[in-house]
Amino acid sequence: MSGPSSSGPEAPVGDPSHPDFLELLRVLALTRVGDDAFTGSHPSKNPVRTFGGQMMAQAFVAASRTVDARLPPSALSMHFIAGGDPEVDLEFTVVRLRDERRFANRRVDVTQGGLLLGSALVSHLSGGRGLEHDVDVPDVAPPHDLPGIDDLLRGYEETVPHFANALRPIEWRYTNDPAWVMRDRGGSLAHNRVWMKSQGAMPADPVLHAAALVYSSDTTVLDSIITTHGLSWGFDRIFAVTMNHSVWFHRPIRFDDWVLYSTVSPVAAESRGLGTGHFFDESGRVLATVVQEGIVKYFPER
């Protein structure tokens, strides 16, 4: 049996003073246009091309709406092929690759007007109890002791306008200087660690909590490539675009609780860089693991 036939979550909840958060819930509420076909809209604030985290989160929701709700997600892997136009709705076609009692596999093709933008493979698995261990959570300050993103952007609005003017459905609390502050102080950093949570209470739908994590996993994962070299968006001439992105889900997620996103870059070569990271809950358990590869080009001033 497939999952529920509704096209999206229950009515948005949360503080209406956070309209960006309500916009995120809206774009995750896909419109079902067939048994295995959906359309998804864009928010009011967008980069030049569709934000990859949005496209992945919507593809994840599309796949999950065709799966038995009792099967939790285990992995998502997306390959980006072309950039999306934020003025045009995205089309999601789900291909059912496998359905078993405890397994389900889906492919989701994302298109606009017949142009393939990307393909995602999504797996769901009910594994049951087994061996458990975790990588150590970094020793960082708790989120309540840290400044918000607005404080960290103050004075840098013209340096990093894409960040200053971006949609803010997720609350960020950096435990280290973000790239633009680090660069202004002449430093470098081999890691980035950010506390995150939704700006409002999430609906009681595990798919949406996991989708919010997928959305957020595309925000800071490539930063360590450039901060390792003492560089920053806005200050330096850098071109970056995501090629592929994978998320492994290890435990149930509540994204209206604080989670720590800790990322590093193990390698950069041949104009490509790899970012890896873990999401931890406040007790130190690993919730998800992320790997992203991007084209990253640096053009030093002459």
Averaged pLDDT for residues 192-219: 97
Q: Sorting pLDDT into bands at 50, 70 and 90, what band is 198?
A: very high
Structure tokens at 113: 């007007």
What is residue 129's predicted lDDT score, i.e. its pLDDT? Answer: 87
Please give the mean pLDDT across all residues of the chain.
93
Residue 187: pLDDT above 80? yes
Structure tokens at 48: 């030049």
What is residue 10's predicted lDDT score, i.e. its pLDDT? Answer: 38
Specify the pairing of strand 115-125 against strand 238-249.
unpaired
pLDDT: which is higher, 195 or 127: 195
- Order across the sheet with 115-125: list the strands: 31-34, 37-40, 90-99, 103-112, 115-125, 73-80, 238-249, 286-298, 272-281, 259-269, 191-198, 170-174
What is residue 16's predicted lDDT score, i.e. its pLDDT? Answer: 60
Task: Please check whether residue 274 is in contact with residue 293, taking contact to mean a CB–CB distance below 8 angstroms.
Answer: yes
Residue 79: pLDDT above 90? yes
Q: Sorting pLDDT into bands at 50, 70 and 90, what band is 1?
A: very low
96-123 pLDDT per residue, tens: 999 999 999 999 999 999 999 999 999 9
pLDDT: which is higher, 211 or 302: 211
Task: Please check whether residue 190 is in contact with residue 231, taking contact to mean a CB–CB distance below 8 angstroms.
Answer: no
Task: Using alpha carbons only, give the angle 246, 169, 280 rounded to the nearest 5 degrees.
Answer: 45
Q: What percent of the chain has pLDDT over 90?
A: 92
213-262 pLDDT per residue, tens: 999 999 999 999 999 999 999 999 999 999 999 999 999 999 999 999 99
Q: Sorting pLDDT into bands at 50, 70 and 90, what band is 6?
A: very low
254-287 pLDDT per residue, tens: 999 999 999 999 999 999 999 999 999 999 999 9
Residue 77: pLDDT above 60? yes
Averaged pLDDT for residues 48-64: 97
Averaged pLDDT for residues 3-9: 38
What is residue 83's predicted lDDT score, i.e. its pLDDT? Answer: 95
What is residue 127's predicted lDDT score, i.e. its pLDDT? Answer: 86
Task: Please check whether residue 101 is in contact with residue 66, taking contact to mean a CB–CB distance below 8 angstroms.
Answer: no
Task: Please check whether residue 171 is in contact with residue 229, taking contact to mean a CB–CB distance below 8 angstroms.
Answer: no
Q: Sorting pLDDT into bands at 50, 70 and 90, what band is 301?
A: confident
- In the chain, the domains with their CATH numbers are 19-127+190-298 (2.40.160.210)
121-169 pLDDT per residue, tens: 999 999 888 999 999 999 999 999 999 999 999 999 999 998 999 999 9
Alpha helical stretches, state H, 29-109: 52-64
Looking at the DSSP bridge assignments, the partners of residue 292 are 245, 275
Phi-psi region of 230 (alpha: psi -120 to 50; beta: other; left: phi over 0): left
